[in-house]
Amino acid sequence: MAELEQRGDRTPIPAAWEYASAPESREIVKLEERYGLFIGGEFVEPRSGEHYKTLDPSSEGPLAEIPQAGPDDVALAVRAARGAFSDGWSAASPAERAKYLFRIARILQERSREFAVLESLNGGKPIRESRDVDLPLAAAHFFYYAGWADKLEYAFPHRRPQPLGVAGQIIPWNFPLLMLAWKIAPALAAGNTVVLKPAETTPLSALLFCDVLRQAELPPGVVNIVTGDGATGAALVKSEVDKIAFTGSTEVGKAIQRELAGTGKKLTLELGGKAANIIFDDCALDQAVEGIVNGIYFNQGHVCCAGSRLLVQESIYEPLLEKLKRRLTTLRVGDPLDKNTDVGAINSRQQLDKIEELVAAGEEEGAEIYQPPCRLPEKGYWFAPTVFTNVAQSYRIAQEEIFGPVLSVLTFRTPDEAVEKANNTPYGLSAGVWTEKGSRILWMAQRLQAGVIWANTYNRFDPASPFGGYKESGFGREGGLHGLEPYLDFREDSTDVIGG
Ligand code: NAP
Ligand code: MG
């Protein structure tokens, strides 16, 4: 037992807890040596003839070979989706579509341990998070949109909602299965068929999902999965789809918008963020510390809505920072499959390089770095939880998205100053406000330019609640009724409005 620390006349508490390792078994996951592309309900060899290896980022060990789909493969997948759309999916009774979505949701629940282990293995995130966040939310999205599938006329009264056709969907590596659920569930509920491209580094849960689709007996071609890198994504953007739904970086989002300009294809973009987590001096400090930790160290900070800029009211700066640093010393960094792990592996070498570059820039520009003492594993990609103080608004670490476990701390004196600093960013995806005053929460929420604002909590998600950005964080919403609209065309008819 660690040494005891005496706090006043209270019962002594241990200064540190040591945990025995509690690894989740990876036996439940059966990997193929080599995967195919999922087109028309079958796994097929890529016409490109090319494959690449996908890794476990915590060990750098290879897991499986994945097809690198070329333009011909993408075209084949789009044709399969088009065929399935006209062959019955778009005309199927809405209750029939709901049936498949409910089945998928239930199978995801039944197989959630298998998916959670695979997600942690291929992505590096702690099993605690894939088990308790990614999987329950992915299933919840399918349940939620299953409920809307046969109620579209009521969701959009007098607007005659119609499916668009084939949706091309491109997703990132930070929440591979959850982002897939956010994309596929509303698209199918609205009567579309899809071609989805997972991120290059995390294709495995999307490929296992194909097995769920077969189990659910979803008609072939309704969902097609094409794996590969950015070139595969670019080929999907250029293909004969009716809509592109993209989640990823602002840079790639802008390129896609340029490519689609004038084509008549619909587009939604969920891009980056640099959220302010704003702490007022009347808040419950210990609760706020937990919210700050969850805001930036959840999923190693690979979260578009991460609370990566901490704005602290000057009067509580010192006690808050002391509590925060102390809390950081208790975070356990290491094996993603250990049930005690709080911070797992960085998703890829490329992402680790980006984090290291920005952290070096922070030190060079004059910010003060703090990292709790922690031993990082020798193999794999790792980065210790990091806090930067003495940060000026102009520093790169205050402006650019780091997408890693790195927090930049700034201060403010008045609510006006907090709003001004929070909005001083090209992004506008999310924000957090911590205060005991309800009126202040509302006052702040009216002024913050962010798609999602959490009050006295952070990083909470619900399928019924729309999510999306302002400014360079993109446009369009996912989740809720708002999330159905980008997958529908409306044939408004005025006689309908009058006649009912
Ligand atoms: P990314 O490089 O933009 O990649 C996103 C997806 O697009 C990946 O599947 C990627 O393939 C593909 N892609 C790359 N280049 C492409 C191109 N020219 N045309 C079409 N597709 C292309 O982003 P990332 O680095 O993987 O993900 C991190 C970013 O996503 C962060 O900026 C984060 O904020 C954002 N994000 C936003 C949300 C949101 O809801 N707003 C959610 C999660 C993440 P590869 O895997 O081969 O690169
Ligand atoms: Mg990328």
pLDDT digits over 185-223, tens only? 999 999 999 999 999 999 999 999 999 999 999 999 999
Q: How far is the CA of 143 from the centre of ligand 1 (A)?
A: 26
Same domain (yes/no): 228, 291: no
**361 and 381 share one domain:** yes
- Domain with 221 in it: 26-271+477-490
Q: Which atom of ligand 1 is nearest to the CA of 474?
A: 41
Helix (H, G, I), strand (E, B) or coil at 284: coil
Q: Please check whether residues 238 and 320 belong to one and the same domain.
A: no
Q: Which atom of ligand 1 is nearest to the CA of 478?
A: 40
Is residue 189 in a domain? Answer: yes
In angstroms, rounded to a whole number, what is the distance separating the alpha carbons of residues 129 and 301? Answer: 13
pLDDT tens track for 356-398: 999 999 999 999 999 999 889 999 999 999 999 999 999 999 9
Which CATH number fits the domain that encloses residue 314?
Answer: 3.40.309.10
Question: CA-to-CA distance for 430 and 390, rounded, in angstroms?
Answer: 23
The CATH number of whichever domain residue 245 belongs to comes to 3.40.605.10
pLDDT at 109 over 90: yes
Using a 6 Å cutoff on CB, does residue 260 contact ligand 1? no
- pLDDT per residue over 299-318, tens digit each? 999 999 999 999 999 999 99
pLDDT of amino acid 18: 78
The answer to whether residues 206 and 308 belong to one domain is: no
In a domain, 356, yes or no: yes
Tokens 């900070």 correspond to 301
Asked if 238 and 136 sit in the same domain, the reply is: yes
Q: What is the pLDDT of residue 492?
A: 75
Same domain, 258 and 133: yes
Instruction: Say if residue 351 is in the same domain as residue 427.
Output: yes
Q: How far is the CA of 197 from the centre of ligand 2 (A)?
A: 12
Question: Rounded CA gap, 168 and 307, in Å?
Answer: 30
CB-ligand 1 contact for 170 (6 Å cutoff): yes
* 342 within ligand 1 shell (Cβ under 6 A): no
288 in the same domain as 240: no
Q: Is 370 within 8 Å of 322 (Cβ atoms)? A: no
138 lines ligand 1 (CB under 6 A): no
Is residue 235 domain-shared with residue 361, that is, in the same domain?
A: no
Same domain, 303 and 253: no
Q: Which of 195, 227, 241, 304 to mutate to test the pocket of ligand 1 (most atoms within 8 A of CB)?
A: 304
In this structure, the residue with its CA closest to atom 16 of ligand 1 is: 230
Q: Is the CB of 273 under 6 A from ligand 1?
A: yes
**Spatial distance between the Cα atoms of 295 and 309, rounded to a whole number of angstroms:** 10
Residue 498 included in any domain: no
If one counts the domains in the chain, the total is 2
